[in-house]
Structure 1
Amino acid sequence: MNLENIDAEKWLELALEYGLKILGAIIIWIIGSWVIKKLLKSTKKVMTKGRYDESLQKFLLNLINWALKIVLIIVVLGTVGVETTSFAAILAALGLAVGLALQGSLANFAGGVLILIIKPFKVGDFIKGQGIEGTVKEISIFNTKLATSENQIAVIPNGKLSNDNIINFSEEGTRRENLIFGIGYDSDIKVAKDVLLNLVNEQKEALQLEGKKPMIFVSELGDSSVNLSLRYWSNNEDFWNLRWLVLEEGKARLEAAGIEIPYPHQVEIQKKA
């Protein structure tokens, strides 16, 4: 009888001890899961309000969800008496190993996150980065795709792109051109300036806004020419067609007005032996 009582008491003691731990673990899991759900919901609202990219939202929400659940699992295991120190050390070592193995990919991922959050450019913008100019076709987590003027697709890693100087030609909606026309030293500067300025003023694509009106001036006295700088503004969609027209028609009108457009000359001197 005494042995039976002792066994029963031990079983009751163990049941109470571990039962309470298991019950506590269940309660912690339920409360923790509810808190994680609320945090994810609030985070999603913040991202939606901040107009984060949809692919970035899904990725970050999944990342946060798994990170919080791993922490919750460790807490639950610690509640039931499992030693979690070594478990956390293993996770840390595993994370370090993965980080070292994917160092380049992680740099591109971090660059992609920065680009999608800061938004230095968006799909459809014409930009220059890493020495490449083109229209942004796609922004993913790891790279950005540009369509160049030669109808080629350039894939640029986000890690390098985010750490480079980026020029966004589309952000302001308008662009200023600065064309250089060289004329001979014997040519009439005033006539040449009037010819080029009148040409630009005739084009409806050239903006005539306050502070953005066309202008021309002598920018340099070169070795063989007087260089005139012709500046004007246009909308982004009109920029290239207007530029090509001004270059071609500008040359034709200068020649028609008798303005010399010099080009480099090479003089060869031969000495008799």
Structure 2
Amino acid sequence: MEKKELQYIHSFEEYVNEFINALIAYSPKLISAIFILIIGLYGIRLINRMVKKIMLKNEFDPTLSRFLASSLLWALRLLLFITVISRLGIESSSFVAILGAAGLAVGLSLQGSLSNFAGGVLIILFKPFRVGDSIEAQGVAGTVNEIQIFTTKLLTSNNQTIFIPNGILSNGIIINYSLQGVRRADLVFSLSYDTNIKTAKDIVMKVMTNHPKVLKNPLPAVSVKNLTDTSIVLAIQPWAKNADFSSMSSDILEQCKDAFDKAGVSIQPYTIEASK
């Protein structure tokens, strides 16, 4: 073998020996870091389960419980990560500085997402609506299916899923139809001027009084809303529980139409409508 090749072999053996020695010297830190990681992950899982059980026992709001549990989970994971890299010999102060700089850069590039996150926190804390509530916001209406960190998921009456960013949702007007437990329908009939107003009102009141889903308290009401050039506009206002609202509104319109037909009351065909 040539002298040069022998030198290469000798150098390689030195590198291998140095690597093995360094690995042996570093192995206690590596083993302890792996041990801390395993115990830490198990502990985080245990703490997360305990927190969920405590919140469930104390009847915390489900949305708030999920948010707090998720936030605690990621906070503990971050703390564990810093502990592990510190055990490996990496200065945690330097890492925190790097993480802060990276966080600032990411924050500047994700201002919209941070706004949505802040909006999600506000919604969870102040509870303008809950999961299962029927709301109207940003020009759409539906039932709240899920409140996520960045978006709120609505399910419309025709089974469409709508995602609204929490930032604009928390800063806009929200109509919560479920908050009070009952709703009033604002139904409208336009009748011919040949109609006797008292007779028409009596017919409507009878229909509402006999309907099982119309509440007796608050009392239903019927009144003249307007007198246009072509018709008498009658306002019909029955109350119902949220779950019965849609079916009750439809029934009242149908039954009033049938009752008007039997009584010979003429309806203007182009102005029958119901509120949303």
TM-score by length of 2: 0.67
CA RMSD of superposed structures (Å): 3.3
The Cα offsets for residues 30-80 of structure 1, whole Å up to 9 and x where unpaired, read as: xxxxxxx9xx99xx69x94682523211233246557888999xxx9xxxx
Q: Is the aligned partner of 1:60 residue 2:71?
A: yes
| Amino acid paired to 2:201 | K
> How far has the Cα of 1:179 moved from its partner?
0.8
| Amino acid paired to 2:226 | E
> Is the Cα–Cα contact under 8 Å of residues 224 and 263 in structure 1 kept in the other structure?
no
Match of 1:238 in 2: 244
- After TM superposition, the structure 1 = structure 2 runs for residues 51-200 of structure 1, keeping only pairs within 5 Å, are 51-52=60-61, 53-62=64-73, 65=76, 90-200=98-208
- Equivalenced residue count is 219
From 211, 233, 251, the equivalent of 1:203 is: 211
**Cα distance in 1 for residues equivalent to 2:209 and 2:101:** 68
> How far has the Cα of 1:262 moved from its partner?
2.2
Structure 2 alignment gaps of length 5 or more: 1-43, 271-276
SS in 2 for 1:128: strand
Percent identical among aligned pairs is: 43
Match of 2:23 in 1: none
TM-score by length of 1: 0.68
SS in 2 for 1:133: strand
The Cα offsets for residues 244-263 of structure 1, whole Å up to 9 and x where unpaired, read as: 11111111211221212124
Structure 1 alignment gaps of length 5 or more: 1-36, 77-81, 265-273
The Cα offsets for residues 161-186 of structure 1, whole Å up to 9 and x where unpaired, read as: 11221111112111111111111122
Residue 50 to residue 249, structure 1, CA distance change in 2 (3 Å): closer
SS in 2 for 1:106: helix
| Amino acid paired to 2:263 | A
- After TM superposition, the structure 1 = structure 2 runs for residues 2-81 of structure 1, keeping only pairs within 5 Å, are 48=55, 51-52=60-61, 53-62=64-73, 65=76
Match of 1:225 in 2: 231
